[in-house]
Structures are given as C-alpha cells and as structure tokens.
Structure 1
Amino acid sequence: MDIREIMEVLPHRYPILLVDKILEIQIGKRIVGLKNVSINEPYFQGHFPGFPLMPGVYILEAMAQVGGILMIKSLGLEIGKYAIVFAGIDEARFKKPIYPGDQLIMELEVVSLKRTLSKMKGKATVDGQVVAEAVLYAAARELKELKR
C-alpha cells in the first residue's frame, strides 16, 4: 500500500500520520509497515534541541497505526466510517534510539482480532536491529461515536 491508499484507510493526517508505506499484509495474521523518519517531523523541535530523538509515544503510535490498517482490512470495516483507537499497551520496551534519517520498519502479528478489542504483538526495527517492542490493544469505533 502506498501513502494514498493508507490515507484512504486511516483518518489520521499531518502531523500525526506516521505510516508511509505498507510493505506486506496477510489479512487476519500480520502486517509490515514503514516510516521514514525525517528531521522535518514537528516533534524534533523540542525532543531534543541539538540531539533529535523520536519520542517513544510516537514509535508506539506509528506501530498502532500499522496495526489499525490490519484491523480495518481484516475485519472488513467500512473505510471512512471507523477509526481504530488505543485500548492499552503492555510490555513496551525501547531498546535503541531512533534518529532523523532512520527508516523504521514495524511488524505486527495478531494475537486476537475482534472489533471490540484486538491484541497485537509488535516490534520496530531500524537496519535490522530491534528498537522497540510492545503488545498493543485496540478497538474499532465509528467516527461518529468519537465526536462530542
């Protein structure tokens, strides 16, 4: 999937759309996504001046967005009608820093897949080395439910 297809599936937009490409997808099983980390990311202005590092919360969000694409595709959810929202994070570990210029590869495998609560085990790598791992929980919500 290229960025245009990703933007058809996910409601996220700049500056929080954190997936550039889907490299592999096995419906109901696993997905591999890519994020090109650029010095132009807005969070680098403050994290940290003179020593830019990708914040852990953004790494987890990027992983969750990749998992969200797998959920939407696997559950056959109507595109543009649903958003995937975090329901929990377990066992998050950050093993190495991510710098501007890195290419973040995120792999998520389904543990359980339901609209009300899905669980995926994920890892993120740069140059073949694991930089982060987490177990992510998410739920599908109709966009209209999320509005006040």
Structure 2
Amino acid sequence: MDMNINEVKNFLPHRYPFLLIDRVISFESGKNLTAIKNISFNEPQFTGHFPDQPIMPGVLIIEAMAQATGILAFKSEVGRPEIGQIYMLVGVDKVRFKRIVEPGDQLEIYAEVVTVKRGMWKFNCTAKVEGELVTSAEILCTQKKANS
C-alpha cells in the first residue's frame, strides 16, 4: 500500500515546513508502517544547523517518526481521521542516535505497534539511511480533539 504526499496530508495536520513524511511505502493495519522522508538542502533548518556542515536535527528525525506513528494509528483505527482529530506525541523513550543525516539522504522510517491500551499507543520506531540505522526510539501517542 503506497501513499503519496497528497494522501499523507489527509492523515496529518502538519504542513510546510513541518510535514516530515513524503511518502508511505508500506502499511499493515494494526502492525506496522514504512515511510520515507527525502532530505533536501533547501529545508529551513539547514540555514542554522549548521551552515558549513548541514545536519538534520535529531528532534526532527524523532518528529518524522512520530508523524509516521500518527498515520499508522489513524489508518489502523478508523481508516481516516475525522475533522478535528489528531494524534499527539506524549512520550519518547530509549532514543539512540547512531549516525548523522545530511541533505541528499533518504530517511526510511519504520513504525511498529507494540501495544494499544486505553487510547494510548506505544510504538517501536527506527530510522535508517541506505539500510544503516540512524535513530531508534519508543514513541507514545494518543488521539485528541484538536484545540483541546
């Protein structure tokens, strides 16, 4: 199951410059999702992080993983979010950074459902570039009404 950027936008409230999923390349309901983020030098964070050696900030890699979990949760639970419903990041544990991510890289993001209890989702996530581990984390999220 492949989702292009227009379909991704149906599942996430984020927009430029904070929409960090370019495509979903696989999805298994209630189990896992694989997405990609193409890293471009034209992204605004590279103006200051760092001008002479652009590096993707770790917090943005984590945010990309969190956005992937939101798509996975919505698609698994209801197929498509209702207006005013969003998944909120509520926790990040066991984060590890293994290598830098630079413009020209393609970040492969993997999210796997670990548990769902009382509306709280726990995921194991990894991000890789060319098969090499970049970041791993446990991510927790929950569904909320927007603006509440």
TM-score (norm 1): 0.94
Structure 1 gaps of 5+ residues are none
TM-score (norm 2): 0.94
Give aligned-pair identity as a percent.
43
CA shift for structure 1 position 84 = 1.0
Contact 1:75-1:115 within 8 A present in 2 as well: no
Contact 1:20-1:35 within 8 A present in 2 as well: yes
CA separation in 2, counterparts of 1:139 and 1:104? 24
Match of 1:70 in 2: 72
Aligned-pair Cα RMSD in Å: 1.2
Could you say what secondary structure the match of 1:74 adopts?
helix
CA separation in 2, counterparts of 1:11 and 1:134? 22
Structure 2 gaps of 5+ residues are none
When the two structures are aligned, how many residues end up with a matched partner? 145
CA separation in 2, counterparts of 1:80 and 1:88? 24
| Greater fraction helix | 1
Could you say what secondary structure the match of 1:14 adopts?
coil
CA separation in 1, counterparts of 2:75 and 2:125? 17
CA separation in 2, counterparts of 1:72 and 1:80? 12
CA separation in 2, counterparts of 1:78 and 1:89? 23
CA separation in 1, counterparts of 2:117 and 2:147? 20
Aligned amino acid, residue 9 of structure 1: F
Which is further off, 107-116 or 126-135? 107-116
- Give CA-to-partner distance per residue, 1:108-145, whole Å, 9 cap, x none: 11001256311000000001100000000001111142
